Amino acid sequence: MKLDIFYILASLAVFFALFFALAPDIRARLGRKKPSSGTLPLPLLLGILVLVPLVTTMLYLQVGTYGEAEIDDPRVTQLRSKMIEMARDLERNPDQPEQWQRLGLVYKDLRHYGPAEHSLRRALYLRPDSAFLRVELAETIHLRSELPDMPPQARALLEEAIELQPDNLKALWLLGTNDFL
């Protein structure tokens, strides 16, 4: 049912776009005025009206959507199954900072910043002396905020990481780039 509505709406959108693009030519022909020199020849106008929707539909049916491509990718399927396995393992035994860290980093790589932040916070709670986790959590908070300036909480985490590990290059780099902006 949803797919039928999608096809109907997509077809209407293509026809409306064509109509508005070709409206001057159509009005000139329907008004039975002699078409001006700026109008399209009738065979070309009819060809556009028929071929554009047809080619659009055929291309969509051939290529499909991004969602369909993602489902068939065995790497994505394997990654999802590993993530489910990690989550189940963490449900049984939640006091595993390495697993929380891995899960958070995978979420961050997939740009799921909310779950990544949650997982990294949990890992940091279990390993409060980790400069690495502070840096990764700070970067995740910054990415999640989608702001050019780093949120104060992320900055504080980076400063704590530098106190724990003064030569942490990623922390220094993130603070430096934020100060430069």
Residues 19 and 46 in one domain: yes
Same domain, yes or no: 158 and 112? yes
Range of the domain at 80: 73-180
Instruction: Please give the tally of structural domains in the chain.
Output: 2
Separation CA 155–CA 101 (nearest Å): 20
Is 50 a residue whose pLDDT tops 70? yes
- How much is the pLDDT for 131? 97
Within this chain, do residues 89 and 51 fall inside the same structural domain, yes or no? no
The predicted structure's pLDDT at residue 36: 59
Q: Do 134 and 158 form a contact (C-beta atoms < 8 A)? A: yes
Please tell me the pTM assigned to this model: 0.61
| 82 and 53 part of one domain | no
- CA 156 to CA 172: how far, in whole Å? 13
The tens digit of pLDDT for each residue in 63-120 reads 766 555 455 668 878 888 898 999 999 999 999 999 999 999 999 988 999 999 999 9
Are residues 117 and 56 located together in one domain of the fold? no
Same domain, 37 and 78: no
Report the C-alpha gap between 40 and 166 in whole angstroms.
70
- 156 shares a domain with 100: yes
CA dist., res. 107 & res. 84, Å (int): 12
The mean pLDDT value of the chain amounts to 84
Domain boundary (13, 34, 64) is at 64
| 179 pLDDT above the threshold of 90 | no
Write the single-letter amino acid at 127.
R
**Per-residue pLDDT at 104:** 95
Is the domain of 116 the same as that of 170?
yes
* Residue 143: CATH number of its domain: 1.25.40.10
